[in-house]
Chain A
Amino acid sequence: GESVGLHLPTLSVQEGDNSIINCAYSNSASDYFIWYKQESGKGPQFIIDIRSNMDKRQGQRVTVLLNKTVKHLSLQIAATQPGDSAVYFCAENKKTSYDKVIFGPGTSLSVIP
Chain B
Amino acid sequence: NAGVTQTPKFQVLKTGQSMTLQCAQDMNHNSMYWYRQDPGMGLRLIYYSASEGTTDKGEVPNGYNVSRLNKREFSLRLESAAPSQTSVYFCASSELGGPKYEQYFGPGTRLTVT
Binds B, one of A13-21, A53-61, A71-79, A99-107: A99-107
- Please give 7 more A-B residue pairs, beta carbons under 8 A apart, in addition to A49-B99, A100-B58: A34-B99, A41-B107, A42-B108, A93-B99, A99-B31, A101-B45, A105-B40
CA distance A103 to B59 in the complex (A): 11
Residue of A nearest to B42 (CB): A103
Q: Which of B88-114 contact A (CB under 8 A)?
A: 90, 92, 97-100, 102-108
Contact check, A46 vs B102: say whether CB atoms are below 8 A apart: yes
- Asked if A45 meets B58 with Cβ closer than 8 Å, knowing A89-B43, A101-B99, the reply is no
Contact check, A44 vs B99: say whether CB atoms are below 8 A apart: no
Residues of A within 8 A of B (CB): 4, 31-32, 34, 41-46, 49, 89, 91, 93, 98-106
Q: Show 12 residue pairs from A and B whose CB-CB distance is below 8 angstroms, ordered by the A residue.
A: A32-B100, A42-B107, A43-B92, A43-B108, A44-B90, A46-B104, A49-B102, A93-B98, A100-B58, A103-B43, A104-B42, A106-B42
CA distance A70 to B75 in the complex (A): 40
Contact check, B99 vs A32: say whether CB atoms are below 8 A apart: yes
Chain A residues in 8 Å Cβ range of B100: 32
- Indicate whether B74 reaches chain A with its CB closer than 8 angstroms: no
Contact check, A101 vs B97: say whether CB atoms are below 8 A apart: no
Contact check, B105 vs A44: say whether CB atoms are below 8 A apart: yes
CA distance A67 to B7 in the complex (A): 41
Indicate the member of B40, B98, B99, B107 with the most A CB atoms within 10 Å: B99
Residue of B nearest to A103 (CB): B42
